[in-house]
Amino acid sequence: MLYTIVMMVCMTAVPQTCEQREEMADGLAMNPGVAFMQAQPLVAHWLETHPGYFVQRWRVLPGRSS
């Protein structure tokens, strides 16, 4: 199922500087709870590829597109 991972990301050096990022994720489970667990490694991967940021909060929304 297609989901959008919505993350509020902030700069590590300037924590009050935050922005919303959306990443599409396909192939996650239809059950929202399971999809949330499956999305955790995707959020971790985003953090690994974007040094200098931290994720303040995130959620998974079904069937959404940017």
pLDDT at 65: 57
Task: Identify the three-state secondary structure at position 23.
Answer: strand
Tens-binned pLDDT, residue by residue, of the chain (66 aa) = 899 999 999 999 999 999 999 999 999 999 989 999 999 999 999 999 999 999 999 999 988 655
**Global pTM exceeds 0.95:** no
**Phi-psi label, residue 58: left if phi above 0, alpha if psi -120 to 50, beta otherwise:** beta
CA-to-CA dists, residue 46 to 1, 6, 31, angstroms: 20, 12, 23
Backbone angles phi and psi of 52, in degrees to 5: 95, 0
